[in-house]
């Protein structure tokens, strides 16, 4: 069984820093919940038309990730975090 771990891309990390602390804590709690679920990708939706990109839903916000295998780990690289109307651009 593979373990899952989230990592921020540089662009996602910069965007994440602009959110207020309350929202940042909610996102980090949700990512921790996904990591502990065993297989977070079963809770995500694969995006059509994009190769190997998934999205997690958090109310009106979306977290876009791309899985990358690294030995016994699957690193879910966070590409974007944002409001649903702007995150897919």
pLDDT digits (tens), the chain, 89 positions: 678 999 999 999 999 999 999 999 999 999 999 999 888 999 999 999 888 999 999 999 999 999 998 888 889 999 999 999 998 88
Whole-number pLDDT of residue 32: 93
For residue 63, the cross-strand partners are 56, 81
Instruction: Please count the CA atoms within 13 angstroms of the CA of 3 that sit on its side-chain side.
Output: 5
Whole-number pLDDT of residue 15: 92
Q: From start to end of the chain, where are the E strands?
A: 3-8, 45-46, 54-58, 61-70, 73-83
Domains of the chain: residue spans and CATH: 3-83 (3.30.2310.20)
Instruction: Please count the CA atoms within 13 angstroms of the CA of 31 that sit on its side-chain side.
Output: 20
Give the pTM. Answer: 0.90
């Amino acid at each position: 069984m593979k373990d899952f771990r989230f990592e921020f891309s540089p662009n996602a990390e910069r965007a994440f820093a602009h959110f207020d602390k309350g929202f940042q804590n909610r996102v980090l709690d949700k990512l921790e919940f996904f990591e502990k679920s065993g297989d977070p990708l079963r809770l995500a939706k694969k995006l059509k038309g994009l190769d190997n990109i998934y999205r997690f839903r958090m109310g009106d916000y979306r977290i876009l990730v791309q899985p990358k295998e690294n030995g016994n780990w699957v690193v879910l690289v966070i590409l974007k975090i944002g409001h649903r109307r702007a995150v897919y651009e």
